[in-house]
Structure 1
Amino acid sequence: MSDLSPETPPVAPIADLSFEDALKRLEAIVHRLEGGEASLEESIELYGEGDRLRKQCETRLQAAQARIERITLDPDGAPAGVRPFDAG
């Protein structure tokens, strides 16, 4: 894994990052790549890391969505229970 700057501390393995930390790292990688200052080798490495971070974020979002439940109401409008979230 490459550092984005000399002051950047080592990054934890992707699987250990919180969603927020993975997203911050991904944003830093995009900024570095868009800046055009990275060498070809570093750009390839950063792109690969960015792709792994994107997949990790997507997996965490899907897991969160699977845990969301929708409150169901009875005919009088009172809460009657919950059922799985249906994004469709």
Structure 2
Amino acid sequence: MTDTPVADMSFEQAMAELEQVVTQLERGEVPLDESIRLYQRGSDLRKRCEDKLKEAEEKVAAITLDAKGEPSGVTPVEGL
């Protein structure tokens, strides 16, 4: 696990650390206080991954292609 602030992590960094957190919690070999800290960090990492995926989906959804495969404009993204 790193000391990098979750807000500064890329999707890949957050996902890798989240996998480490889940592995540690599943083993159940950490004290209760550490488990709580890991759970909170995991929750923050999960949120970061969800936010980064949503950003990527919105960028992709905003680009539409015409019959020739050329970008034809910007389509509003639902919910924005």
Fold similarity call, TM over 0.5: yes
How many residue pairs get aligned? The number is: 75
CA RMSD of aligned residues (A): 2.1
TM-score, normalised via structure 1 length? 0.74
User: Which residue number in structure 2 is paired with residue 39 of structure 1?
Assistant: 31
Shift of residue 86, structure 1, vs aligned partner: 6.7
User: Secondary structure in 2 aligned to 1:37?
Assistant: coil
Q: Give the 4+ runs in structure 1 shifted more than 2 A.
A: 82-87
Structure with the largest fraction of helix = 2
Counterparts of 1:85 and 1:65, CA distance in 2: 12
Counterparts of 1:24 and 1:79, CA distance in 2: 35
Sequence identity of aligned pairs in percent?
Answer: 37
Among residues 52, 55, 58, which one is paired with 1:63 in the alignment?
A: 55
Counterparts of 2:66 and 2:74, CA distance in 1: 7
Shift of residue 44, structure 1, vs aligned partner: 0.6
8 Å contact 1:70–1:85 — kept in the other structure?
no
Structure 1: state its 5+ residue gaps.
4-9
Counterparts of 1:82 and 1:72, CA distance in 2: 9
Counterparts of 1:60 and 1:85, CA distance in 2: 19
1:1-88 pair list within 5 angstroms: 3=1, 10-68=2-60, 69-73=63-67, 78-79=68-69, 81-84=72-75
TM-score, normalised via structure 2 length? 0.80
- Select the structure of larger CA radius of gyration: 1
**Amino acid across the alignment from 1:12:** T
Counterparts of 1:17 and 1:52, CA distance in 2: 11
